[in-house]
Amino acid sequence: MSVQNLNSVDPFAEEELLGGTQDVGSGADYIHIRIQQRNGRKTLTTVQGLAKQYDLKKILKAFKKEFACNGTIHDDEKLGEVIQLQGDQRSKILDFLVENDVDRSTIKMHGF
């Protein structure tokens, strides 16, 4: 009844757990900071792939206070929770994250 192999961790279960935050295939779970243009000179900054261990709400609150902008958490089906901020906050976010001991090499800044 007790076959050793079957007792080990179910690989598929784990996949589901990880799948949310990670880009599957790229190997490392990068934090992506992106920018999108809106109308006029308005922009939108998105932060994708923040580790689950952090409380996004608190991070968002800190972002909003620090950068003096509004923002929201968008729950994407595939990509997990994504922070959206008004305006181009990319470099500020990067500085903020690095200052708070996030490894620089895990952060990818996109955009122009």
Partner 1 sequence: MASEEPLFDPSLKKRKKKAVAFTEYPLGAEADPTAPAPETIDNTTTTGEAVDLGPSTAHEQMKRNGEEGGKTEDDDFKAMFGDMKKKKKKKEIPMDLADGDSGASTPVAGASAPAITEDLDFSDIKKKKKKSKKAALDMEAFEKELSESKSKPAADEEDEGEPEHNPNLDIDDADLENDPFAQPSDVPVGVDLGNEPWLSSDRDYAYPELLTRFYSLLHAANPALLSSSSQKRYTIAPPSIHREGNKRSVFANVTDICKKMHRQPEHVIQFLFSEMGTTGSVDGAGRLVIKGRFQQKQVENVLRRYIVEYVACKTCKSMDTLLTKENRIFFMSCESCGSRRSVNAIKSGFQAQVGKRSKNRPA
Which positions lie near partner 1, rule CB under 8 A? 23, 25-26, 32, 34-39, 41, 44, 46, 48, 74, 76, 79, 82, 84, 104-105, 109-112
Nearest-approach distance from CB 96 to partner 1, in angstroms: 15
Angle at 87 between CA 46 and CA 20, to 5 degrees: 10
Residue 7 C-beta: closest distance to partner 1, Å = 34
Residue among 68 and 91 whose Cβ is closer to partner 1: 91
Q: d(Cα 41, Cα 24) in Å, to the nearest integer?
A: 34
Residues 84 and 90: their CA atoms lie apart, in Å, by 11
Closest to partner 1 by CB, 4 or 105: 105
Place of tokens 């708070």: 100
